[in-house]
Amino acid sequence: MGKIHIMDEWLSNKIAAGEVVERPASVVKELVENAIDAGSTQIEVFLEEAGLAKIQVTDNGSGMDEEDAMKSFARHATSKIVNEHDLFRIRTLGFRGEALASIASVSKIHLKTFDGTSGIDIVLEGGQLKERHAAPSRRGTDMTVSQLFFNTPARLKYMKTIQTELGHTIDLMNRLALCNPDIAFKLMHYDQLLLQTNGRGNVQQVLASIYGIQNAKKMIRFEGASNDYRISGYATLPEVTRASKNYMSIFVNGRWVKHFLAQKAIVDAYHTFLPIERFPIVVLFVEGDPYLTDVNVHPAKHQIRLSKETELMELVQRTIREAIRAVHRVPEAVKPQ
C-alpha cells in the first residue's frame, strides 16, 4: 500500500492560512481588498484588541447572492479569474480565491451580504457552518472575523503587542486609502478613530489625513511617462524628511508593492538635497500594461516582477529630480545675498 494520500480540504486550508494569514493586518488586507474589488465607495473597519478579538469590515459594494456567498469560503473559489489568459491581465486585487477559505479555517466568521435581490446571514466556526439567519436587506457586505487563531495557539502566541499589530493595520489602511482616493475609508480601534478619508478622489486630501496638513502642503506633484510606463505622485520638498524608508510608498497598477530599487531611484532623485540617513515622504503611482507586471510571485502579492525595470527606474529618478529642482531653484535664484 502506498503512503501518499491527498489531504482533506480543511487541513490544506489551515496550511494555506499559515501563508496568507500572518497577523490581524493580513485579514484586514484581504477583507478590505475584497470590498474594493466589489466596487465599494465606502469601507469601514472596526477592530477590537488590534483585530485579534474582532475585525469587522462593512462595505457598500456589489454584495453576494446566496449561492456565491456559500461558495466564497471554498478553496480556490473566485469570481475574478476564469482562465490562464486572465492570470496575465490581473486588474483586481484578489484572484487566488484563497483568502476567505484560509481566514475561515482559523477564526469565527459572521457574514452578512446582499446583492440587491438575494443574500445571506451566516456564522462559521473554523470553516464549519454553525448558524443561519434571515438575509439582510442592505446592499453590500458586512464581514466580522472574531477570535482569530482560536484554533492555532502557536500562531496566537507569536503575536506582538497590541500597538505593533495595530501599527501594521494602520500602515496597510493608509496605503489602501492612498491608492483609492475615491473610496471613503474609516478605521476605528474600539472608539478611537485612526483614519478617515472623504472619498472625494483627491490624493492630497488623503495625504493630509495621514501625514498632517502641514506636511501635505510641502509635497509637490510629479508626473512623467516613458515608452511603457506612466508615473505620477507626490514627493516632499527636501526640508521634510523622515528617519525611515517606510514613508516612500510605491503602487503598481493600484497595488502597493515593496520595491527596493524604486526606493533607491527616489532617494537618488534627491541627490545631495537629503541629509544623511533621512528619507522623503513619497507616493509613487506606476501604471503599465499588466503584461509587464507579474504579481503572482507570493501569496501576499507584495512582491512584483517588472519587465523593463531599468527604463522605469530612470523615469522615476528623472521625473522626481526635475520636479524638485523646478521648485528648489526658483527661491534660490531670487534670494537676495
Please give the residue ranges that form the binding site for ligand ADP (CB under 6 A).
30, 34-35, 38, 59, 61-64, 68, 72, 77-80, 94-100, 141
> Which residues have C-beta within 8 Å of that of residue 107, sequence separation ≥ 6?
27, 126, 145, 146, 147, 148, 149, 150
State which amino acid sits at residue 208. A
Give phi and psi for 133, each to the nearest 5: -125, 180
240: enclosing H helix or E strand: none
Looking at the DSSP assignment, which residues form a beta bridge with residue 195?
Answer: 187
* For Mg ion, the closer CB: 141 or 236: 141
Name the binder of 28 from Mg ion, ligand ADP, none, CB < 5-8 A by kind: none
- Is 109 or 219 the residue whose CB approaches ligand ADP more closely? 109
Q: Which is nearer to ligand ADP, 13 or 241 (CB)?
A: 13
User: What DSSP state is assigned to residue 88?
Assistant: T
Q: What residue 77 binds from ligand ADP, Mg ion, none (CB within 5 to 8 A, per partner kind)?
A: ligand ADP
Rule CB under 5 A: say whether 111 interacts with Mg ion: no
Residue 162 contacts by C-beta under 8 Å, 6 or more apart in sequence?
A: 49, 50, 52
The one of ligand ADP, Mg ion, none whose footprint includes residue 55, by CB under 5 to 8 A per kind, is: none
Helix (H) or strand (E) holding 284, with range, is: strand 282-288
Which of the ranges 98-106, 112-120, 131-139, 246-254 carries the binding residues for Mg ion, by CB under 5 A?
98-106
Integer Cα distance of 43 and 59 in angstroms: 5
Using CB under 5 A as the binding rule, whether residue 34 contacts Mg ion is answered as: yes
CA of residue 319 relative to chain centroid, distance: 25
Measured between alpha carbons, how far is 72 from 79 in angstroms, rounded to an integer? Answer: 9
Residue, CB closest to ligand ADP: 94
Would you say 103 or 265 has its CB closer to ligand ADP?
A: 103
- Per CB under 5 A, 166 contacts Mg ion: no
Shortest reach from residue 188's CB to Mg ion, in Å:
22
Q: Residue 30 Cβ, how far from Mg ion at the closest point, in Å?
A: 5
To the nearest 10 degrees (0 to 180), the angle between helices 162-179 and 203-211 is 160
Residue 315, binding choice from Mg ion, ligand ADP, none, Cβ under 5 to 8 Å by partner class: none
Q: C-alpha 324: how far from its chain's center?
A: 28
Q: How many residues bind Mg ion (CB under 5 A)?
A: 3
Binding site for Mg ion (CB under 5 A): 34, 94, 99
